[in-house]
Amino acid sequence: MSEVREYLYKILVVGDLGTGKTSIIRRYVHNIFSSNYKSTIGVDFALKVIQWSPEIIVRLQLWDIAGQERFGNMTRVYYKEALGAFVVYDVTRPQTFEGVTKWKHDIDSKVTLPEAWGGGNIPVVLLANKSDLIHEGHGQQVNAEDMDRFCAEQGFLNWFETSAKEDTNIDEAARHLMTAVLKIEEEHGSDLAQDEAERIRLDQLNKQSEAGSGGCC
């Protein structure tokens, strides 16, 4: 019987105020929706455990970062050790799309993959949220070709049109991001584990050395 592997991944969920970040997380984690969520202050957390395959369990730690935190000094602390991210905008409010590139640049400048994973930018997926409102006649339909081009230019892994209200494409977007992170894990994870084992071994050797260095003078 093969050994079950468990991975814990910290995932950021960022975007301008009122784009539906909390609604997306609660739909994904708890499968509930409410139109009365209060604005997140600072940062909030949610955990989702996924049986990815018979051999792999993924624990997703989702960090819901308030829109008004954009580019503040604290974001560097919030982003630390993240391995992936969603950037969210509201399809009915074009001004929230203007913030997308700034959020992406902020992530790229403040967090990178572990050195054992080759470093570089963490994978980021763009969510065009509140698509249900377009069906109700608000805002314009998202142009897929333009979005494909934009994501390629800005370094996004991909984009999805989502609705927390109608539960549209949220699972699919999360699976897409997790597939990318797991691929990096499978390619470099053994290196990371080896580095950690080496660090623990060196710590133990250092402690033994300190314990035996009393001298006789």
> Which helix (H) or strand (E) element contains residue 128?
strand 124-129
pTM equals: 0.82
Reduce the DSSP state of residue 158 to 3 states and report it. strand
pLDDT in tens for each of the 217 residues of the chain?
568 899 999 999 999 999 999 999 999 999 988 766 666 656 788 999 999 999 999 999 999 987 765 556 678 888 999 999 999 999 999 999 999 999 999 999 999 999 888 899 999 999 999 999 987 667 778 999 999 999 999 999 999 999 999 999 999 999 999 999 999 988 886 544 444 444 445 555 555 545 444 443 3
Structure tokens at 187: 């390619």
Over the stretch 7-27, which tens digit does the pLDDT of each residue have? 999 999 999 999 999 999 999
The residue written with tokens 């409410």 in the block is 34
Q: What's the CA gap between 39 and 17, in Å, rounded?
A: 8
The count of other CB atoms within 10 Å of the CB of residue 148 is 13
Contact 114, 157 (CB under 8 A): no
Q: Which amino acid is at 85?
A: A
| pLDDT score recorded for residue 8 | 94
Q: Are 112 and 122 a contacting pair, CB within 8 Å?
A: yes
| Domains assigned to the chain | 5-211 (3.40.50.300)
What is the enclosing helix (H) or strand (E) of 60?
strand 56-65
The three-class DSSP label of residue 71 is coil
How far separated are the first and last CA of the chain, in Å rounded?
Answer: 57
What are the phi and psi torsion angles at 62 (to 5°)? -95, 125
For residue 139, give every residue at least 6 positions away whose Cβ sits within 8 Å of its Cβ, in sequence order, or none: 91, 92, 93, 133
